[in-house]
Amino acid sequence: MRTADIRDGWHGNAQQPFAVANLVSCRAHHHQPFQRHVSAATSGATWPWQLQDGSPSSLGPMALLGDLLLQKLRRSMVNPDRNPLKDLVEIDETEMPFRSRHDPEDRPKGGRSPVGKMFVVCAVELSSDGHPRRIRMKHIPDGASKTLHGFIGQAVEPGAHIITDGWLGYENPPANTHEAKVVSGKKAHDILHWVHRVFSNLKTWAKGVFHGLRKCHLQRYLDEFVFRWNRRRHMRSAFDTLLGIGVGLGPATYRDFVEQRA
């Protein structure tokens, strides 16, 4: 396996390419089952009997193991060394309803009230001819200036030019030039076309595949969506990239994921 085949979207290489080659080639000894290699590739080996302590009694050991592997794979969808977005970047935020056992019956349907809603901010990197490249998404508590500027600082390269709507929370970013396209008599998706296309795809995926998302796990789902989007043109190497990132992460138990420590 060539290192060049293990790509992270548009930039960089995944970690530990030789370890990934050993894992995907299934080089296991007769006394080492393949599950041990899969666990190592997804950030730490954990076995069914380790999952029963403090876990929901309604799930069997193998169901818990499957859920643990899924969470580890989702954690491996974020490369710690990924490069920030550059050049021209569209940014906007949206809201999504969340699944809950206690949804308020009179939940407000408009405005920026947080009742019954989850807020998501998204940045879309554009090429010179206006086509989308990579994206970043984050679950945010509100649309305040401090929150949005913090996201820009993490997701966007200093010096990149960002385009937003007229929301005051985006004004005066500390390290980027800013262009505000005020929505006046036009629909938001006509002003910021690609970021709203991403939001549309996200909501269709979330409601269609998962029938809604839980608030406590929203960021994991966003990480999966971002990983899939950024590698939509690199399907052949996406799985190798996933395993390569997972090998470089530290171990995590089922309890770590339940308590949001991993």
| pLDDT recorded at residue 62 | 77
Q: Kindly report, residue by residue over 92-106, the tens digit of the pLDDT.
A: 999 888 766 665 556
Q: Which DSSP letter does residue 232 get?
A: T
> What local confidence, expressed as pLDDT, does residue 156 receive?
96
Strands (DSSP E) along 59-147, which ranges? Answer: 88-97, 117-126, 132-140
pLDDT one-digit tens code per residue, 9-37: 444 443 433 333 343 333 434 444 434 44
More confident residue, 106 or 90: 90
Q: What 3-state class would DSSP assign to 250?
A: coil
Confidence (pLDDT) at 209: 85
Mean pLDDT score, 33-43: 42
Superfamily of domain 88-99+116-259: Ribonuclease H-like superfamily/Ribonuclease H (3.30.420.10)
Q: CA geometry: angle at 11 spanning 5 and 17, to 5°?
A: 35
Q: Dump pLDDT digits (tens) for 225-245.
A: 999 999 888 888 888 888 889
The percent of residues in the chain predicted with pLDDT above 90, rounded, is 36
